[in-house]
Amino acid sequence: ASVPVICIDGPTASGKGTLAGELAKRLGYHYLDSGALYRLTAFAARQQNFELDAAHEALIADMARKLPVRFESGNIWLAGQDVTEAIRTEAAGMDASRVSALPGVRQALLDLQRSFARLPGLVADGRDMGTVIFPQAPLKVYLTADAAQRAERRHKQLISKGIEVKISTLRADLEARDEQDKSRSAAPLKPAQDALLLDNSSLTIEASVNQVFDWWQARQ
C-alpha cells in the first residue's frame, strides 16, 4: 500500500516542527524533521573542520550519506554524542542553511528522508518536502507567520532555556536565513503548486493543528 505523507514546509520558526510533531502524534504517524538532518550534517562537517561550501561539497555529501545518527525519544545522537541542544542554536541553523545549498548534500540525504515514509503514515517538515522529496504527497501545507511573530516565538523559546538574545537580532537572523533558502538554486524554499497556505500569525498551536487535521480528514 502507498504510505500517506503530509508535508509541512515553510520559513524559519514558522512553527512547522511543533505543528508537524503534534499532528503526527494525533494521527499516530511517523515524523520527519528534515531540518535536523541538515543541522547534523553541518555540525559533523564543522567537527571535521570542513569549509561549508563548494570546496568541500563532495566530502560533506559523503558524510551526509553515512550520518551515524540515532533518533531516540526526542533526543538526537550523532556517533554516541547527544547533540539535541547543540544543533538548535541560530549559528547551527545558519550552518545548516549553508550546507543545504550544496546540491550534492541534498542528493546525499534524499534516500534517508524517503525512508521515513512508513505505514501507517508520515508527517514531514522542512523546506522542500512537497516540492522535491515527496512530490506525490496527498496533502502539502505551506506554513507562514509574519517575521515579528516568528522572532517573538523564537525569543520566548530561548528565554525559557535561559538564553538571552535581542528580538531584533533574532529577526534579522531568521530573515537572512530565509532569504538564503529562497534564493538558492537547489530546491529553493517556495510553496508547492498544490500546497495549501496557512498563516498562523494569529492562531494558537491547537488551532493550526486542528486546521491541518481537518484538511486531512476532508481528503480521506
Task: Summarize as ranges the residues that interact with ligand C5P (CB under 6 A).
Answer: 12, 34-35, 38-39, 93, 96-97, 100, 126-128, 177, 181
For the bound state, the minimum distance from the C-beta of residue 126 to ligand C5P, rounded and expressed in Å, comes to 3
Taking the least distance from each CB to ligand C5P, the nearer of 29 and 134 is: 134
Residues present in the chain in total:
220
Taking the least distance from each CB to ligand C5P, the nearer of 22 and 128 is: 128
Adjacent-strand bridge partners of 33: 125
For the bound state, the minimum distance from the C-beta of residue 209 to ligand C5P, rounded and expressed in Å, comes to 18
Find out whether the peptide bond into 103 is cis, omega within 30 degrees of 0: no
121 is in an annotated binding site: no
For the bound state, the minimum distance from the C-beta of residue 106 to ligand C5P, rounded and expressed in Å, comes to 7
Taking the least distance from each CB to ligand C5P, the nearer of 134 and 216 is: 134
Taking the least distance from each CB to ligand C5P, the nearer of 28 and 180 is: 180
Give me 101's grid cell: 545549498
Taking the least distance from each CB to ligand C5P, the nearer of 70 and 182 is: 182
- Among 67, 79, 81, 82, CA closest to 115: 67
DSSP code, position 88: G
How many CB atoms neighbour CB 34 within 10 A? 23
126 is in an annotated binding site: no
User: Rounded distance, CA 4 to CA 30, Å?
Assistant: 10
Task: Kindly give, in sequence order, each residue whose CB lies less than 8 Å from that of residue 146, ignoring residues fewer than 6 positions away.
Answer: 199, 201
For the bound state, the minimum distance from the C-beta of residue 152 to ligand C5P, rounded and expressed in Å, comes to 17
12 is in an annotated binding site: yes
For the bound state, the minimum distance from the C-beta of residue 118 to ligand C5P, rounded and expressed in Å, comes to 18
Q: Are 87 and 36 in contact (CB under 8 A)?
A: yes
DSSP code, position 13: T
Mark the binding-site residues for ATP, compressed into ranges. Answer: 10-18
